Every structure is written in structure tokens, then in C-alpha cells.
Amino acid sequence: MKALRLHERGDLRLHDEPEPEPRDGEVLLQVAAVGLCGSDRHWFVEGGIGDAVLTKPLVLGHEFSARIVSGPREGERVAVDPAVTCGRCAMCLSGRENLCVEMRFAGHGATDGALRSLIAWPARLAHRLPDSLSDTEGALLEPLGVALHALDLGGVRPGTNAAVFGCGPIGLLLVQLLDMAGASAIAAVDPLPHRAAAAYAMGASPDPVEGAEVAFEVTDANALDEAVDAVRPGGRVVLVGIPEGDRASFTASTARRKELTIAICRRMTPDDLPRAIRLAEVGRVSLRPLVSERYALSEGKDAFDALVAKRALKVIVEPQRTADGEPAA
């Protein structure tokens, strides 16, 4: 099989490797579509995220859909939860599995991700993909799950006045979710015109942000100061983005005088992916408009160049596709 490995910053290499062998409780998945995420960009550009650094060649990719090719569910199309939790630690036992201290996460640390032809993964984390959703839409369900978790942390209710700083895929999904949740006003800010335009097309406003009850910071450039300035006294700021250099800051006096609540979003909970599937299946959230560039696995460097340049909304890699757009033999 083919696998795309990151050897060091900016150094991606396509390898021929043996097929993985599923362990107990796992199924073999033929990877259909992989969405490239801002965290993949950090690995590619910085060689890690925070204290998780590249120590050996790593297969990136945690937003993915696939087809099961082993066991009783063979042939089933699935969206995959990339987080393998232990089920035994205090966080897991308290229902906060996204904070599991023993978590393995696809495409992070020592755990290879989905930018390869085949992957063995726990069967319980492979959720059936409805026929109404394409493979590429299936790869966007994990970021939708993250957006749902962020929405929950924001305490959004009907009539909430909200602001979104950063209109990449998760920011755009938040715009849709805020509208679905009945927000009375949704302001969106992004320095890139094509991303801001996408947010406005989804119902956000370009009007200056003032007096929001909740602001979502979804950038890699540390817009926390802007988010803190935008919310009203007693408001809430939710940090979703991963900042460059692993540092985020804001003016403490402003936040203190407003007595703000600041929440930090950590991936998604196990319940969020099934929620995301249901919302997409019934059309409450639109995923297809976010897909703007698609590549074969052999075009991985081009895909990451597009990701780094931020010229696309969502970059998708399809391991079963050839560079000419045809299915792989």
C-alpha cells in the first residue's frame, strides 16, 4: 500500500509499505477521503504541536472517511473518530473522554493517521456514513464535531449575539451551527477575502463586532485580543484555534474588567461525531461548499502547499484516486 509520511518539517515522502493487520476489536479500512486540518499544517510547518514533536516519520491525517474491508461489516462506508481513548482514566470515567490522559489520536505523536491507502482502526470508532453523504463530505464530519463541541462550550441559546474570528472550515461550520441554534446576529472576521466571503454567503455579517455575548477564536494567528474586545461584560470567549508558536495572549485588564469566561476547546467528545452525522444527513449543515481542492495521495506536496498558502477552504486528499482524477487500480 501507499503511505505519505512526514520525515521532518516540509519533507513529505510517499512510501510503499505492508498492509496493516487489524488487532482485536479493529477493522481494516480503505481510506476514501482525508481532510487536511490546521493541525496538519502545524506538523508540516513546525514539526509538531506544542510539546508533541516529530520523533520519527509520521503519517498525518485525522479527518477521514473510509470503507470497511474486513469483518462482518465489510463494504460499509464510514466516518471515523480519530481519538482512541483508554476508557479507564478519571476523565473517561467522568464522561470527558476528549481529555483522556492515555489517548491515541490519528496523525499525532507516535500514532499514524489516514494519509495512506489502508488503516487498521477500532471498529467502535467507525460510524456508518449515510448514503446521502459523499466520501468527501464524510471527511468533514470530524471538524463538524469539533465545531459542535465549541458551540456547546459557548453556551449558545436562541437570541445569542455571536462573533466568529477565523473563517476556515471550523469557523464556517460554526457560522452554520450558530444560525441553526437561533443566534440573533453572527459577525464573522477573517483577513482572507475568500474565507470572509464564504462566511457572508452562509449568513454571517461583515458589520463591526460589538457587544457579542460569545466570541469564538478559530485562527492560528492569536485573535484573542480581538475576541476579548468584542464581547460584552459577563461574556464568554471560546478558543478553538491552535496558535502559531504554541502561545496565545490577551489584555488581562480588559478581560478582568468585563469578568469574562474563557473556555478552550479540546477536539470533540465521542457523542459529537454521531450528532454531526445526523445534522449533515438531514441537511441542517452543508458540507459540500467547503471542499475547494482535491488531490491524490501522490500529489501530497501540492495538497500541503495549498494548505500552507490558505488559498482553499478545505483541502481533501483521496488515497484511492490517481493524479489524473481516476480511481486507483
> What is the DSSP annotation of 115-178?
SBSEEEEEGGGEEEPPTTS-HHHHTTHHHHHHHHHHHHHTT--TT-EEEEE--SHHHHHHHHHH
Is the CATH number of domain 2-140+287-318 1.20.1250.20? no
Mean pLDDT over all residues of the chain? 93
Segment 276-294 shows an average pLDDT of: 95
pLDDT at 327: 58
Is the confidence at residue 248, as pLDDT, over 90?
no
Contact, 115 vs 107, CB < 8 A?
Answer: yes
Sorting pLDDT into bands at 50, 70 and 90, what band is 133?
very high
Domain borders along the chain are 2-140+287-318, 144-264
Indicate the CATH number for domain 144-264: 3.40.50.720
Contact, 162 vs 171, CB < 8 A?
Answer: no
Residue-wise pLDDT for 79-125, tens only, equals 999 999 999 999 999 999 999 999 999 999 999 999 999 999 999 99
Range 93-101 contact pairs with CB under 8 angstroms and sequence separation of 24 or more: 96/269, 97/269, 97/270, 98/149, 98/266, 98/267, 98/268, 98/269, 98/270, 99/266
pLDDT at 50: 85
